[in-house]
């Protein structure tokens, strides 16, 4: 297995990227490629460890890329024009099969654009989305989408629920994950138009898609331990995510200040230190790695833009698990299976149509029907049947095109 890491993406690049990679290399079995400006990466390794990549580990490699996509770059233009950027080079290596998973903390818009255009969507998925992992009561909570699609349609939220179900079931080992729709209330009539329509669609389609949809969920109930995944559009999901991260920092800071306020409080906290350390670890979002891009043909992981070395270390380990769990393969299989009956029916109509029209053409050319067909159908009935089949073919073509365009993307 080869893990591709964008060494130049993120607010703390390349220092945090390199330190996190070095910390993770002895905890994984895969090769780890640092993609970026080779001379810069070599100089940093020399500065931090006084070693070359080969001396640190024979599984740590450097792959040269001369450009960098900055946070302020326009996503589509950056992907199109910065062909030798660390992000585009990483995507191309992934697409060509030279790597198994790509990690970047760089420009989120560019990462989504590159994953969709260069790597490609899984057939049947309208929009890939970011699945972030958060702490919850005695379990982990998946938030999808947490920032990649700010404008969504109900079908997108339905597919987010479907992808979340597959990921949680197969990667996290939860047999029948509970999926909730983030809303301002639990009633069916609450929320804006998108949320109300999404609720109705989820309620209707969940049984046939194997989704355990439990209804609307308010933000305060998301961490109760009763929910395994929260579904939202990227705009709402990102606000929810950043609020939770900020609240976690506030709680840890306030608790620390309270315990250090005076000698008695410090003395009283000594017996509770193991429990406090466990609480601190549970509340630290860095322990949960990056967000997974679900819905693209190859594994892609988005690390937090402000990732430090610790977060990169966990994200690298998370990426190895992501590949080992074969989540992308399972998503691909699931979405193919969903469309298979409709494709089979359509192909049957095509084959039948062309067989009958060829027989009809033979009749006009020779003036007589093939003997095998004359025994079953009189010429007048056969002609009417051909006309009917032509209409059926046109209608089924239109309906199939409409279905794949507006429903399956």
At 90, give phi and psi (nearest 5°): -60, -45
3-state secondary structure of 70: coil
Q: How far apart are the first and last CA of the chain?
A: 32
- Please say whether the beta carbons of 61 and 21 come within 8 A: no
* Cβ density class 215-246: b for 16+ within 10 Å, e for less: ebbebeebbeeebbbbbbbbebbbebbeebbe
pLDDT score of 235 = 93
133-288 is classed in which CATH architecture? 3-Layer(aba) Sandwich (3.40)
What is the Cα–Cα distance from 329 to 337, expressed in whole angstroms? Answer: 12
Tokens representing 147? 């920032």
Whether the ω angle into residue 14 lies within 30 degrees of 0, i.e. cis, is yes
Weakly modelled stretches of the chain, pLDDT under 70: 280-288, 337-409
Confidence at residue 249, expressed as pLDDT on a 0 to 100 scale: 81
Where along the chain do its domains lie? 1-120+296-325, 133-288, 336-406
Superfamily of segment(s) 1-120+296-325: Isopropylmalate Dehydrogenase (3.40.718.10)
Q: CA-CA distances (angstroms) from residue 117 to 79, 113, 342?
A: 9, 6, 26
Evaluate whether 1-120+296-325 and 133-288 have a shared fold: yes
How do strand 129-136 and strand 291-294 relate by DSSP bridges?
antiparallel
Residue 224, classed as helix, strand or coil, is coil
DSSP string, 94-152: HHTTS-SEEEE-S-HHHHHHHIIIII-BPTT-S--EEEEEEEETTEEEEEE-SSS-SS-
C-alpha to C-alpha distances, 366 to 328, 359, 369, nearest whole angstrom? 55, 11, 8
Residues 113-158: tens digit of each pLDDT: 999 999 999 988 888 999 988 888 888 899 998 888 888 999 999 9
- Residue 62 phi/psi, 5-degree rounding, is -120, 130
Q: How far is C-alpha 384 from the chain's CA centre?
A: 50
Task: Tell how strand 229-231 and strand 178-182 pair up.
Answer: parallel
Matching residue, tokens 């130049």: 8
- Measured CA to CA, the distance from residue 279 to residue 28 in angstroms comes to 26
* DSSP codes joined into one string, 194-217: HHHHHHHHHHHHHHHHT-EEEEEE
pLDDT reported for residue 170: 84
**CA atoms in the 13 A half-sphere facing the CB of 74:** 4
Question: Would you report the helix, strand and coil content of the chain in percent, each value rounded to 5?
Answer: 55, 15, 30
Structure confidence at residue 258 (pLDDT): 83
Give the list of residues 6+ apart from residue 215 with CB closer than 8 angstroms, or none.
Answer: 180, 181, 186, 188, 199, 203
Q: Of the candidates 315, 273, 323, 321, which has an alpha carbon nearest to the alpha carbon of residue 298?
A: 323
Neighbours of 325 (CB within 10 A): 16
From CA 112, how far away is CA 292, in angstroms rounded?
A: 11
323-343: pLDDT as tens digits: 998 888 888 888 876 655 555
């Amino acid at each position: 297995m080869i893990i591709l890491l964008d060494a130049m993406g993120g607010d703390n690049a390349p220092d945090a990227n390199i330190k996190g990679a070095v910390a993770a290399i002895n905890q994984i079995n895969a090769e780890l490629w640092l993609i970026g400006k080779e001379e810069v990466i070599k100089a940093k390794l020399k500065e931090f460890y006084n070693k070359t990549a080969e001396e640190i580990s024979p599984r740590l490699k450097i792959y040269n890329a001369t450009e960098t996509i900055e946070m302020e770059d326009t996503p589509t233009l950056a992907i199109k024009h910065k062909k030798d950027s660390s992000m585009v080079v990483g995507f191309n290596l992934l697409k060509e099969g030279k790597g198994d998973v790509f990690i970047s903390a760089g420009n989120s818009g560019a990462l989504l654009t590159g994953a969709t255009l260069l790597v490609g969507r899984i057939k049947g998925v309208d929009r890939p989305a970011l699945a972030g992992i958060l702490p919850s009561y005695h379990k982990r909570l998946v938030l999808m989408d947490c920032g990649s699609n700010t404008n969504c349609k109900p079908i997108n939220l339905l597919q987010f629920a479907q992808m979340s179900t597959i990921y949680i079931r197969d990667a996290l080992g939860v047999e029948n994950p509970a999926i909730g729709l983030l809303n301002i209330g639990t009633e069916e009539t609450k929320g804006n138009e998108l949320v109300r329509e999404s609720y109705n669609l989820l309620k209707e389609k969940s049984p046939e898609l194997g989704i355990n949809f439990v209804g609307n969920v308010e933000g305060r109930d998301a961490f109760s331990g009763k929910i395994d995944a929260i579904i939202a559009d990227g705009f709402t999901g990102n606000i929810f995510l950043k609020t939770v991260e900020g609240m976690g920092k506030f709680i840890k800071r306030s608790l620390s200040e309270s315990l250090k306020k005076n000698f008695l409080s410090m003395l009283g906290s000594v017996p509770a230190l193991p429990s406090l350390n466990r609480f601190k670890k549970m509340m630290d979002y860095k322990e949960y790695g990056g967000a997974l891009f679900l819905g693209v043909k190859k594994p892609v992981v988005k690390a937090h833009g402000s990732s430090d070395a610790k977060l990169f270390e966990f994200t690298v380990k998370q990426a190895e698990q992501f590949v080992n769990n074969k989540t992308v393969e399972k998503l691909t299989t699931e979405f193919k299976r969903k469309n298979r009956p409709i494709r089979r029916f359509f192909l049957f109509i095509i084959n039948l149509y062309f067989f009958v029209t060829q027989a009809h053409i033979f009749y006009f050319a020779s003036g007589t029907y093939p003997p095998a067909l004359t025994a079953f159908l009189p010429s007048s009935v056969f002609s009417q049947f051909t006309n009917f089949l032509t209409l059926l073919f046109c209608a089924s073509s239109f309906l199939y095109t409409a279905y794949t365009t507006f429903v399956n993307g």
